Amino acid sequence: MENEEMSREGEIDAAAVVARLIEKATSSTDHEVDPRLLKAIKSAVRSSDDEVRDAVRALMDQMKKQHSQVRYLAVLIVDELFMRSKLFRSLLVVNFDQFLSLSIGFRRNLPLPPPSTIASTLRSKSIEILEKWNASFGIHYRQLRLGFDYLKNTLKFQFPNRLENATRLQQERREREIRSKQILLNKFQSLKERYSLIKDEIQSTIDEIGECIEILHAKEADESIPAEDDEVEEYRPPALQQIRLDSLKEGEKVQESTENKAVFDVLRELHRLLVSKHLPAVQEWMSVLVRVDITDKFRDTALKEFIDLRNNILSVKKKCSELGCVFDDGPVQREDEEDLWEEGKIEINVAGESSGANSSVEGSAHIVTTDNGNSSAPHASKSSDDHVLNLTPERSKLLAEAPVVTWGLFLDNWGSNRDAPANQRGLELEGHWGRVDSDAVIPAEKIAELSVHRTLYKEQPVEIQPCHAPLKKGGLCQRRDLKVCPFHGPIVPRDSEGNPIEQIPRKGLAKGEPSAHAAEVVSVLAETETDPNMDKLTVEQVFKQAVRNVRERDVDVKTSKRAKLARVREHNEAVLRDAAVTSTSYSEAFGEHNEAFHGNKTGTKTKKATLSSMLRKKITAKDRIAQRLLSTRATDASSHQLMQGEDSKYREAFPNQW
For residues 155 and 580, which CB has a smaller minimum distance to another protein in the complex? Answer: 155
Smallest separation, CB 49 to another protein (Å): 11
Smallest separation, CB 35 to another protein (Å): 11
- Residue among 509, 478, 505 nearest 492 (CA): 505
- Whether the CB-CB separation of 104 and 72 falls below 8 Å is answered with no
Q: How far apart are CA 205 and CA 312, in angstroms?
A: 11
- Whether the CB-CB separation of 71 and 112 falls below 8 Å is answered with yes
Which residues, 350 to 369, sit near another protein by CB under 8 A? none
Q: How far apart are CA 487 and CA 467, in angstroms?
A: 9
For residues 133 and 306, which CB has a smaller minimum distance to another protein in the complex? Answer: 133
For residues 112 and 254, which CB has a smaller minimum distance to another protein in the complex? Answer: 112
For residues 139 and 332, which CB has a smaller minimum distance to another protein in the complex? Answer: 139
- Mask of contacts with another protein, 61-100, x by CB under 8 A? ----------------------xxxxx-x----xxxxx--
For residues 98 and 413, which CB has a smaller minimum distance to another protein in the complex? Answer: 98
For residues 136 and 241, which CB has a smaller minimum distance to another protein in the complex? Answer: 136
Smallest separation, CB 3 to another protein (Å): 15
Please tell me whether residue 159 binds another protein under the rule CB under 8 A.
Answer: no
Smallest separation, CB 96 to another protein (Å): 7
For residues 95 and 312, which CB has a smaller minimum distance to another protein in the complex? Answer: 95
Smallest separation, CB 89 to another protein (Å): 8
Smallest separation, CB 7 to another protein (Å): 20
Smallest separation, CB 16 to another protein (Å): 22
The CA distances from residue 241 to 234, 244, 245, 248, 556, in Å, are: 10, 5, 6, 10, 77
Please tell me whether residue 271 binds another protein under the rule CB under 8 A.
Answer: no
b/e per residue 32-70 (b: at least 16 CB within 10 A):
ebeeebbebbbebbeeeeebbbbbbebbbebbebebbbb
For residues 146 and 346, which CB has a smaller minimum distance to another protein in the complex? Answer: 146
Please tell me whether residue 163 binds another protein under the rule CB under 8 A.
Answer: no
Please tell me whether residue 141 binds another protein under the rule CB under 8 A.
Answer: yes
Q: How far apart are CA 652 and CA 658, in angstroms?
A: 11
The letter for the amino acid at 17 is V
Which residues, 210 to 249, sit near another protein by CB under 8 A? none
Which of 8, 39, 511, 649 is the binder for another protein (CB under 8 A)? Answer: 39
Smallest separation, CB 103 to another protein (Å): 14
For residues 146 and 198, which CB has a smaller minimum distance to another protein in the complex? Answer: 146
- DSSP for 565-604 reads HHHHHHHHHHHHHHHH--S-HHHHHHHHHHHHHHHHHHH-
Q: Is 399 helix (H, G, I), strand (E, B) or coil?
A: helix
Q: How far apart are CA 24 and CA 12, in angstroms?
A: 18
Smallest separation, CB 144 to another protein (Å): 10
Please tell me whether residue 140 binds another protein under the rule CB under 8 A.
Answer: yes
- DSSP for 187-235 reads HHHHHHHHHHHHHHHHHHHHHHHHHHHHHHHHHHHHHHHHHHHHHHH--
Smallest separation, CB 148 to another protein (Å): 11
User: Quick one: how many helices (H) and strands (E) in the chain?
Assistant: 26, 4
Please tell me whether residue 262 binds another protein under the rule CB under 8 A.
Answer: no
Long-range contacts of 133-136 (CB under 8 A, 24+ apart): 133/82, 135/162, 135/163, 136/83
Tell me the number of residues near another protein by CB under 8 A: 28
Smallest separation, CB 59 to another protein (Å): 17
- Whether the CB-CB separation of 127 and 159 falls below 8 Å is answered with yes
For residues 93 and 320, which CB has a smaller minimum distance to another protein in the complex? Answer: 93
For residues 146 and 326, which CB has a smaller minimum distance to another protein in the complex? Answer: 146
Please tell me whether residue 137 binds another protein under the rule CB under 8 A.
Answer: yes
Q: How far apart are CA 278 and CA 202, in angstroms?
A: 7
Q: How far apart are CA 459 and CA 13, in angstroms?
A: 76
- List interacting residues with another protein (CB under 8 A): 39, 42-43, 46, 83-87, 89, 94-98, 136-137, 139-143, 145-147, 149-150, 154
